[in-house]
Structure 1
């Protein structure tokens, strides 16, 4: 029996229109890591945060790729490149989503998670493993309830019944592993949304699966 951790993050908004500052893609990512390597990741990033603080960087926040300075980003990506984990990313180009798929934010969220976990789960989880899926806490209590129900339903459909699994929603600030997932997904989506692969190149070896779900589709609904 192996304990496996899947720290997840989502990127992009759930607004379905062509407006300024609205994302083209919605993406789901999971950082997959085993227990011994998780201890190393937590220790490494914890020590890095202390070191940065002594150098007067990042004194007022946790690691967050969107908000961090260039110095912090480079330091975090350099540290991540030496750690042992894999990241899987599923991207959905929102304008290609049929109306019934985007009827609600919860529906679209569940759809994205289903196709992500359908590919990931059989490849990282074996019967009799223990799996902890940790999602970053987001939205209101009512939103989290709907999203939790969606992920739990997807877990039932996509994970072998012999895998003992649990789902947790933790604040991103509570665990550097969630922050690592945020950093990895940010690098991927920055490449897709802006064509900037500066940070992607630093962790490219960690990206196992990067899939545009509707790449073959050519019909746009808005």
Structure 2
């Protein structure tokens, strides 16, 4: 039996309107690997940075880090074997029934992400543990967990699987997913490819879900 780990994070928000500080895209980013040594390396990096007198938060979080820290995190994590998949949803193209609530939209993004970006590459004799970054309230977390479990049941029928939601602070591999999501978001939202170019060789699936859609609903 092959053991495979998938770590997921999102970039963008669930706000469906055009205004300042609202993302154009919602992105679902996953990191898949059979080797968890990258997490150990990030723990070691944190200790080194502390000894060097670098000011750090509770965990590595790309949005708030100084660039010098980001560079060290990228350098460390890219020494390890993992693959990145991302599904990009241009929110204004989402039909009203798709975005009627957060859970519906979340499940929709996950379904297409798994159906085309993940499931076809999971062998039958695989144990797949999906760890996703917690988001929303306790009630929303339960709803998102149910959504993801439903998607897994539909798309990964032949492999054994389990789902875990936890805060990014608790798992360095979730922090890797956060860094990858941030780098890809910078490219799509701002045209800034500096960090994206660093992880580009790791990306095996990058799909704009509504690329061919012409209608914007807001």
Fold similarity call, TM over 0.5: yes
Distance in 2, matches of 1:212 and 1:120, equals 12
Aligned length: 218
Corresponding position of 1:70: 67
- Aligned partners of 1:49 and 1:58 also within 8 Å: no
Give per-residue Cα distances to partners, 1:81-140, cap 9 Å, x unaligned.
221000000000000001110111110011000000111333331112100000101111
2:124 aligned with 1:144, yes or no? no
Match of 1:85 in 2: 82
Displacement of 1:9 after TM fit?
0.5
Question: In the alignment, what sits opposite 1:29?
Answer: 29
* Equivalent-residue separation in structure 2 for 1:196 and 1:60 (angstroms): 24
Give unmatched runs, 5+ long, in structure 1. Answer: none
Residue 88 of structure 1 aligns to a residue in which SS? strand
Between the aligned partners of 1:115 and 1:60, the Cα distance in structure 2 is: 34
Contact 1:58 1:72 (8 Å CA) reproduced: no
How do 1:1-222 residues align onto structure 2 when only pairs under 5 Å count?
1-34=1-34, 37-38=35-36, 40-160=37-157, 162-222=158-218
Cα gap change, 1:58 to 1:113, in 2 (>3 Å): farther
CA separation in 1, counterparts of 2:121 and 2:46? 30
**Contact 1:24-1:193 within 8 A present in 2 as well:** yes
Structure 1 position 58, deviation (Å): 3.9
* Per-residue CA distance 1:169-199 (angstroms, 9 max, x = gap): 1110001000000001100011000000011
Greater shift, 50-59 or 170-179, is seen at: 50-59
Q: How far apart in 1 are the matches of 2:216 and 2:57?
A: 42
Structure 1 residue 67: deviation in Å?
0.6
Cα deviations across residues 27-84 of structure 1 (Å, max 9, x unaligned)? 10110000xx21x212211111111111122433210000111111010111122210
1 CA distance for matches of 2:146 and 2:56?
Answer: 36
- Rounded to whole Å, the distance in 2 between the matches of 1:27 and 1:13 is 9
